[in-house]
A and B are shown apart, each in its own frame.
Chain A
Amino acid sequence: ETGVTQTPRHLVMGMTNKKSLKCEQHLGHNAMYWYKQSAKKPLELMFVYSLEERVENNSVPSRFSPECPNSSHLFLHLHTLQPEDSALYLCASSQRPGGSGANVLTFGAGSRLTVL
């Protein structure tokens, strides 16, 4: 496989459930990101990892817990979520952390999360 792959593509969970989102990149990139995309709102950066070290955490509630076991894999563990957490969760990767014209983000197709 090539690019950035996210699983599952769709997830429905109750507020008391525990689930995880998975992201895998086959691009040899060193930085990985989690973004939240809600309808008609800008993308919200949640977490940034560089070589498996978390370099940014944008005041995300503790019910979201990221894990980066190696530079190719990224997880987002979910527990006791709220209905307002329903959104599309996008994973992305790039050569290195931070934006630039030479450091374009490559996104996965996202995991559509619905919290009941």
Chain B
Amino acid sequence: GQNIDQPTEMTATEGAIVQINCTYQTSGFNGLFWYQQHAGEAPTFLSYNVLDGLEEKGRFSSFLSRSKGYSYLLLKELQMKDSASYLCVCLDSNYQLIWGAGTKLIIKP
């Protein structure tokens, strides 16, 4: 079957760096998304990776290793507003979205 694994919850300190990992097993692979979802709000697109390597967007970076079935989202200089759930999503061989259950990130002062 198809499966996305990511930690249920993580805690980090304001100003620090946190890495949220995601491993996947899918029927084929056509890319991986990260979405951010604040409590009670819409999920919003953060990043898309289809090739191996690191993509940087300001304080957020996303990494992909296709051979390892692994991705991570790196958040630097954490701010209180980064407290949210982070959803890892894969595109399988049929271009269907396979969703992870999300990682709830708690930022403490």
User: Which residues does A use to contact B, with CB under 8 Å?
Assistant: 3-4, 40-43, 45, 90, 98-101, 104-110, 112
Residue with the highest number of chain A CB atoms closer than 10 Å, among B30, B44, B99: B99
Q: What is the CB-to-nearest-CB distance from B28 to chain A, in angstroms, rounded to a whole number? A: 12
Known A4-B42, A105-B97; further 16 A-B contacts with Cβ < 8 A = A3-B42, A40-B101, A42-B100, A42-B101, A43-B99, A90-B42, A101-B31, A101-B48, A104-B48, A105-B45, A106-B42, A107-B42, A107-B44, A109-B41, A110-B40, A110-B42
Contacts of A4 in B (CB 8 A): 42
Whole-angstrom distance between the Cβ of B86 and the nearest chain A Cβ: 13
Q: Which of B79-109 contact A (CB under 8 A)?
A: 87, 91, 95-102
Tell whether, in the assembled complex, residue A42 and residue B45 are in contact, meaning their CB atoms are under 8 Å apart: no
In the bound complex, do residue A99 and residue B91 qualify as a contact, i.e. CB atoms below 8 Å apart?
Answer: yes
Interface bits B40-71 vs A (CB < 8 Å: 1, else 0): 11111100101000000000000000000000
Give CA–CA (A40, B37) in the complex, Å. Answer: 13
- B20 is an interface residue with CB less than 8 A from chain A: no
Q: How far is the CA of A98 from the CA of B87 in the complex (A)?
A: 18
Assembled-state Cα–Cα distance A61/B59 (Å): 42
Q: Is B41 within 8 A of A100, CB to CB?
A: no
Name which residue of chain B comes closest to A91, CB basis: B42
Of B30, B31, B42, B44, which is in contact with the most chain A CB atoms at under 10 Å from its CB?
B42
Chain A residue at smallest Cβ distance from B45: A104
**A107 to B43, Cβ gap below 8 A?**
yes
